[in-house]
A and B are shown apart, each in its own frame.
Chain A
Amino acid sequence: MSRRVVVTGAGAVSPIGIGVDEFWRQCLQGKSSVALIPTYWQLYAEPYSRIWSPLPEIDPESMGVARTERLQLDPVTVLALGAAREAIKHAGFTLVPVKEHTHAFRLTEADSARSGVYIGTGLGGAITFLQNHTYHLLKKPREALASYAQKHGSSGNPVMLESILGLMTHGLRFNPFEVSMVMPNAPAAALGIKYTLTGPNVTHCVACASGTVAIGNAYRAVREGRVDVAVSGGCEYFGDEHGHIFRSFDVSGTLVRDCVNPDTANRPFDTRRSGFLFSQGGAAVLVLEELEHAKRRGAVVIAEVIGFSETFDAHSIMSLAPGGEQIERMIRETLTDAGLSPNDVDYINAHGTGTRNNDEIETAVIERVFGQSVRVNSTKSLLGHTIGASGAFEALVTALSLRDGTTHICKNLETPLRDLNFVRRVEHCDLRVGLSQSFAFGGHNAAVIMSRFS
């Protein structure tokens, strides 16, 4: 008989709040984080999209990350460590310092060799790469130009020279830890080091499906007896100084175009949707645990994970396959994995990006498989798209929705593109089973199914 897998802890660092309680409270209030992009970015490019979903101010030390650690970690890893710390403590593990004056801990009541880490990220430490590359590229030319301006500026155009120098900004240093900061496995590795988790340490790098695939594989590892505890989730950080990553998504035509009213511009599943809201990032982490292991230590269960599957479109590196056949197969395989039929599912946390293509294909598949009565919402209507963290945030929302018998609205949905049961108001409802699905650049599709714990 398969081992049962339960969620016993959760952590979140999100654009709408830090900490799971704050995150969930803001979700149920339909809070989003929308702002105009930094003016400074527009000195380098004229983007089509003009808004993003920024994170609140992050204090690494309050998340247990000391300065000497922070300086060796990309922000994406700091976010992952922050969410993981909350999740591990929330799960009821006590953190014991490995030795005096150290920043590393071990978990009480867990065998470190039977505890694994499964973390998803889309671009890993991209910000560090950009920072170091900017320094590498601009340090010497900037010095040369500044020297020229000092010697000859008055005979030329000093205002223009100052303006150019102002654009050639770079950091204090070429960080000697770059390689270990940039590598996509850094968040998972740092987490394993910080909490002395010596079981499998796996990074899932599948763009927007990274968080879902990480949690799904963690679920399988616990279910199949490879580990008893799995710290799993997703993380992303896209707040580079010059708006380079924003531009990458913008020129590919994926970001929200109609920004006249920033507060209502992000509208997944609406006929007037115009792209997704770019997010600065975030991290969400779930502690998955074998049920008997959780019971023995008196852990409080949030929800149970009961199924997972993933498929691949083999169609296009950037577009969903038009018919959604592999998405449908993925959903049906996930249901089979959970031993359920479509009628058993009460709630779908959709991928719901707000792009023309995604929402059209996703709603068609949902209607084909589940009909029109299943509740559907999009957490991206609140957070924007956090890419590698998105699936983890959405799994977290699914778990909390099942726990509390309620879920958040699909924000800014005025004219639905299809007649589905989109969540329009927060109300108590009998949610027994929820499915959270993600699709990704490359062609990756994945879903996890959770049930209310009883």
Chain B
Amino acid sequence: MNVSVQQRVLKVISEVIDRKENEIHPDVDIRNDLQLDSLQQMTLFIALEDEFQRSIPTEEAAGLVTVKDIIDFIDRKLQETTSV
């Protein structure tokens, strides 16, 4: 897991749910454990797009369950050559 990406993802999540970054474990489920409602999930994914300047299509976001899933997904996106 890319540590830099992990730190930035945790920072974005902490902005959305107003929780400290060190309180968010990578293995937690963003819906069941962090209890992000649908509006918060939309906010999270557009904030991640803003942070990493990569598009996260809704259908792909729906398959991301844990914080670690998001970190790995972003990591893969960053390795792609184009940003849009």
Chain A residues in the interface with B (C-beta under 8 A):
66-68, 71-72, 100-102, 170, 172-173, 175-177
Contacts and interface: CB of A to CB of B under 8 A. Distances in A.
B54 to A, nearest CB: 8
A173 B15 contact: no
Nearest to B55: A172
Nearest to A176: B42
B55 A67 contact: no
A68 B55 contact: no
Most buried by B among A101, A102, A175: A101
Nearest to A103: B18
Q: Interface of chain A, helix or strand or loop or mixed?
A: loop
B42 A173 contact: no
Interface of B: 15-16, 18-19, 42-43, 46-47, 49-50, 53-56, 58, 84
A71 B50 contact: yes
Nearest to A66: B15
B49 A68 contact: no
Contacts of A172: 49, 53-55, 84
A177 B42 contact: yes
A68 B84 contact: no
B24 to A, nearest CB: 13
B53 A71 contact: no
28 contacts: A66-B15, A67-B15, A67-B47, A67-B50, A68-B15, A68-B16, A68-B43, A68-B47, A71-B43, A71-B46, A71-B47, A71-B50, A72-B46, A100-B18, A101-B18, A170-B84, A172-B49, A172-B53, A172-B54, A172-B84, A173-B46, A173-B49, A173-B56, A175-B46, A176-B42, A176-B46, A176-B58, A177-B42
Given A67-B15, A172-B84, A173-B49, A72 B43 contact: yes
Instruction: List 10 tightest A-B contacts by C-beta distance, closest first.
Output: A101-B18, A176-B42, A71-B46, A172-B55, A68-B15, A172-B49, A68-B43, A68-B16, A68-B47, A173-B49
